[in-house]
Amino acid sequence: MLNYRHLHYFWVVTKEGGFARAAERLDMAVQTISAQVRELEKALGHQLLKPAGRGVTLTEAGQAAFARAEEIFQLGQGLPDEVREAASGKVARLSVGFSDGISKLAAHALLEPVLVTANLRLVCHEGEFEQLLGELALHHLDLVLAGQAAPRNPNLRLSSERLVDAPVDWYGPAHLVGKAARDRFPQCLDELPVLLPTGHSALRTTLDHWFETQGLRPRIVGEFEDSALLAVFAARGLGVFPVSRLGADDVGLMRGLRRLGRSEGVKDEIHAIRSRRGQHHPLVQQLLAAAAARREAAGPA
């Protein structure tokens, strides 16, 4: 069994940059802390620290140990508050992971039904797809929203549900989206400055194929991982851009943006991925029910 007290001493020594400063912070003797860190190294079978000037620095093995210790003790620092909140029953916590490349505007619309929950504590993480699935499997997240379904992996025990299969509209600033441009859509995309999601987005792959089938070679002036940031630059006049129909309501709040046209046959997908434990989270169930009701009300796209 790993001795977490030894790990804590190692963590403090690393953050303070040496045994003397760690001893001062912990109000302990330098020799005691040094002995405890050596015990940790003996237990792990590798040297974690090496001398560097008047202090110490991490070995490669130490870097791996410190990264994990950082996670452990950061989680531990939040434990008292989480326990107190759980005991009081006053806080509704929902931890959601957003995969790189999905439309943040559409994701906000999907989360909107629970944003009015009393005493909600919403924690949002953004990262790469595989990383988020690992966090979900470890129950660090309640839900992941991604542009693709979870892969079939019996070890992860995850389930997926497609929440969004929405058409994609194009918007732009008023000085670019006039009647002439709307009448010539989509051919006008060859002439207008175009903003697109980066290759991280599943939508980008679909749009590139659509451009090819339409015989278009758009003049791309910007690429963005974050759809909300993309919309902000468009509203400032940089170009026209595509957005999921689900996120169009948020776009409509941005002054000066006008609808240009629709990419017929192009769909923006968002999948909800859950662990087995997440299937019973009341806020996750509420989100899925709201998405199902939205699909039923919308009918065929």
Alpha-carbon separation of residue 242 from 105, 131, 257 (angstroms): 11, 27, 12
Both tokens of 106, joined, read 């559409």
End-to-end CA distance of the chain: 56
Distance CA 16, CA 173 (A): 51
Please provide the average confidence, as pLDDT, over all residues in the chain.
Answer: 87
H or E stretch at 258: strand 257-275
Yes or no: is domain 165-269 CATH 3.40.190.10? yes
Cβ atoms of 97 and 144 within 8 Å: the answer is yes
pLDDT 10s digits, 78-105: 778 777 766 766 778 899 999 877 777 7
CA-based torsion, 62, 67, 68, 73: positive or negative: positive
pLDDT band at 298 (very low <50, low <70, confident <90, very high): low
List, edge to edge, every strand of the sheet that includes 120-127.
120-127, 92-99, 143-146, 257-275, 158-173, 241-244
Tokens 């790469």 correspond to 128
- pTM exceeds 0.75: no
Outline which parts of the chain fall under CATH 3.40.190.10: 88-163+270-298, 165-269
Question: What are the tens digits of pLDDT across the range 156-213?
Answer: 778 888 888 889 999 999 999 999 999 999 999 999 999 999 887 888 999 999 999 9
Q: How confident is the model at residue 33 (pLDDT cuts 50, 70, 90)?
A: very high
**pLDDT over 90, % of the chain:** 49
Where along the chain do the CATH 1.10.10.10 domains lie?
Answer: 4-86
Q: Over 70: is that where the pLDDT of 285 sits? A: yes
**Which class does domain 4-86 fall in?**
mainly alpha
Among 245, 252, 247, 259, which Cα is nearest to 301's? 245
> pLDDT band at 8, cuts 50/70/90?
very high
pLDDT exceeds 90 at position 222 = yes
Q: Which fold has domain 88-163+270-298?
A: D-Maltodextrin-Binding Protein; domain 2 (3.40.190)
